[in-house]
Amino acid sequence: MRMKFGVAALALLALVSGCVSYEYKGKSADAPTSSVGVFMNSGKIRRSYEVLGTAVVSGDYREVSRDRLMNKLISEAEKNGADAVLVVEQQVLPYGSASGAQGRFLTAYDYDEVNRSWNQVYRDVDERYTNLFNTSLQNMITRSGNGGSNGNTAARTYKRVIRAEFIRYTDTAPIAD
C-alpha cells in the first residue's frame, strides 16, 4: 500500500511540476564543463568563440519558469562541453504553433535601443501573455453564455520558448579593452 502511494505521489508531482522540452542541434566538445557563463548579448562576450550548436527549451507558461528553462540550458551546455550560453531569442506562443510561426522571436534589441534590457522583454512578454490569456478566457465565457462549459471553445494555453547558442571559447584569455 505504501509503495502504491509513493508511486502515485511521484506521478502527481511530475504532472504538477510541468515538463521542459529540450532540442539541440550541433556538436559536443571533447569533455563536459563544470561552469557555464550566460550572456544575453554577444557584444558582452570578451573572448573569441565558436558556436557548438543551437538549443531550444520550452515549457508551459504557467507551470515552467524562465529560471527553470535557463537552468536546463546551463545543464545541457555543461554536458555538451560549452563554456557559455548565449541567449538569442525568447517567445511566448500558443500551443500547437511552431517556433517563429507567429512572427519572429522577441529580442532585447527590439525593445530598448538605449539599454537593450532583457528586463523590458520579460515585462512585455509577461504583460502580453496575461492580456492574451485573460482575453481568450473572457471570449470563451462570453461566447458560451454558460461559463465556458459548452465544449465548443477553450482558453488558449501558451508555452515559453528560449533559443540559445552553446559556445566554446577558442582563445585562452579574455580580449583586452
pTM of the model: 0.64
Q: Which among 105, 108, 89 is positioned nearest to 97, based on CA atoms?
A: 105
**Distance in angstroms (rounded) separating the CA atoms of residues 15 and 107:** 31
Take residue 102 and report the three cell numbers written for it: 507567429
**Residues in Cβ contact with 167 at an 8 Å cutoff, skipping those fewer than 6 apart:** 45, 49, 50, 51, 52, 82, 83, 84, 85, 86
**What is the rounded CA–CA span in Å between residue 63 and residue 66?**
10
98-119 pLDDT, tens digit per residue, is: 554 443 444 444 444 445 555 6
Q: What is the pLDDT of residues 117-152, one digit of tens each?
A: 556 655 665 666 556 555 555 555 555 554 444 444
Domain ranges in the chain? Answer: 18-169
The grid cell for 69 is: 528553462
26-72 confidence digits (pLDDT tens): 999 989 999 999 999 999 999 999 999 999 999 998 899 999 999 99
Q: In which residue are the cell numbers 563554456 written? A: 83
Phi-psi region of 140 (alpha: psi -120 to 50; beta: other; left: phi over 0): alpha
